[in-house]
Amino acid sequence: MVNADSFDLKTHVDEELTRGMVTIVVPVFNASRFLADCLDSILAQTYENIEVIIVNDGSNDSSAEIITHYMILDKRIKYIHQKNMGVSAARNSGITSALGKYITFVDADDKLHRNAIETMTGIMRETNADVVRTKCNVLNGSNLSILHEDVVLGEYEGHALRELVYKAAIGKLLCYTWLLIVKTDLIANNKIYFPEGVSMMEDMWFYIDLLQSSGSVVISGDVTYDYFVREEGATRSISGYEKKLNSIAMVNDYVSVQLSNKFEREHVNAVNASNMVNYTIINAMRLKKVSDVISLLKKINESSVFRDIYTRANTSTVAIYHRLASWAAFYDKKLILLLIILTRKVVGR
C-alpha cells in the first residue's frame, strides 16, 4: 500500500510516462531542406509516448530556426546544440540524454512511417527482445524498392545471434542504425556508443557492439522507414579521401578482432578492401578530368591502410568483380580500373 503522506503524484506520473517511452534521436547537420518533413513524420506517430531529441551538430543553414519552431509546437521535443563533431558525436549526445525505455534513431533527411514506433514497440513487448530491427523503403529519385538482404526473418539467440554478428561484419545484414529500436538499458549498461572520429561505417561498429551485448534480436519484415538516397558530392581533397579510407580501416580492424574465426576475419578484410576500392571508384566516376581519375587511382594503390588490409584478406571469399577490382588496385593496374569505371558509367551502376 502506498503511504498517502509520502505519495508524490508528479513523480508517479513521470515514472508511468517514461516506463513505455521511446526516445527518438535525430542528428541534424545542414538539413533544412528535409527537416520539416522528417519531424512531421515523427510527431505524427500513432504511438504518442515519445521524446524527440534533436541534436544540431553545428549547422550553418536554417536548421536551428526550424527546430525552434517545432519546439514551440510540440513539448515532446528536446533540443541540443553543439559544435560540429560529426554524426557519431551527435547520436552519442542523444543517447546520454535519453529518458525512454527504448531508443531509436532517425536521420534528418528521411521519414518514419506513421505506425513505425507502435509496430516496433509491439514486437518488443511480444518477444521481450533486446533489439528489434525492421526494414525500409529505399527511394532513389522516382525509384522505390524495399530493402532486400540475405538474412532470415525471426528471433536470434545464442549461436544464431553470433552468426548474425558475422553477417553484419561482412555486409549481409546492412548496418542501418535507423532501423533499430533498442532497450536503452542495454546501451547504458554495456557503454555502447558510436565511434567518434570515424567518418565512414560508424554504424557497423555500433551494430557489432550492440549485437554482441544482446541476449536476443528480432529481425522483422515490417517496413517502418523511408530512406532517401541523396547524391553526395565527390571527395574534394586528398586529405578528405584519405580520412575516409582510414575510417574504413579503423572499423575493419575493430570488427575483425571481435571475430574468433580466422576465415571470418580474412573474409571481413576482403570485404573492406573492396569497400575501399569501391569508394575510390564511386569518387572517380564523379571526376571530369582523366588526369584527376588517374591521380585518385594512384592514391588507392599507395594507401598503406588499403595495402595492409588487402594482404590480410582472403579475396576468394568475395565476388569476382570485387576480387578483380581489389587486385587491380593493389597491383596498380590502372587500365583495368578505368575499364571498370567506364563500364559502371555505361550501365548506370
How do the pLDDT tens digits run along the chain, 349 residues long?
A: 334 444 353 443 444 445 799 999 999 999 999 999 999 999 999 999 999 999 999 999 999 999 999 999 999 999 999 999 999 999 999 999 999 999 999 999 999 999 999 999 999 999 999 999 999 999 998 888 999 898 999 999 999 999 999 999 999 999 999 999 999 999 999 999 999 999 899 999 999 999 999 999 999 999 999 999 887 644 555 668 889 999 999 999 999 999 989 999 999 999 999 999 999 998 888 888 888 899 999 999 999 999 999 999 999 999 999 999 999 999 999 999 999 988 886 655 4
Domain total of the chain: 2
* Shared domain check, 65 and 47: yes
* Shared domain check, 85 and 193: yes
- What CATH number is associated with residue 109? 3.90.550.10
Question: CA 334, CA 279: separation in Å to the nearest integer?
Answer: 16
Residue where one domain finishes, among candidates 228, 250, 283: 228
* Shared domain check, 252 and 192: no
Those residues with Cβ within 8 angstroms of residue 239's Cβ, 6 or more apart along the chain or in another chain: none
* Shared domain check, 268 and 200: no
Decide: 279 and 245 in contact? Cβ < 8 Å: yes
DSSP 301: H
- Determine, yes or no, domain membership for 133: yes
* Angle, alpha carbons 26-188-160 (nearest 5°): 95
- The model carries a pTM of 0.90
* Shared domain check, 256 and 173: no
pLDDT per position as a tens digit, 183-206: 999 999 999 999 999 989 999 999
* Shared domain check, 139 and 43: yes
* Shared domain check, 190 and 289: no
- Determine, yes or no, domain membership for 1: no
Instruction: Give the structural domain span for 134.
Output: 16-228
* Shared domain check, 285 and 219: no
Can you read off the three cell numbers belonging to residue 258?
A: 571481435
- Single-letter amino acid code for the residue at 249: A
* Shared domain check, 121 and 156: yes
Question: CA 344, CA 156: separation in Å to the nearest integer?
Answer: 37
Question: CA 321, CA 285: separation in Å to the nearest integer?
Answer: 17
CB atoms within 10 A of CB 185: 12
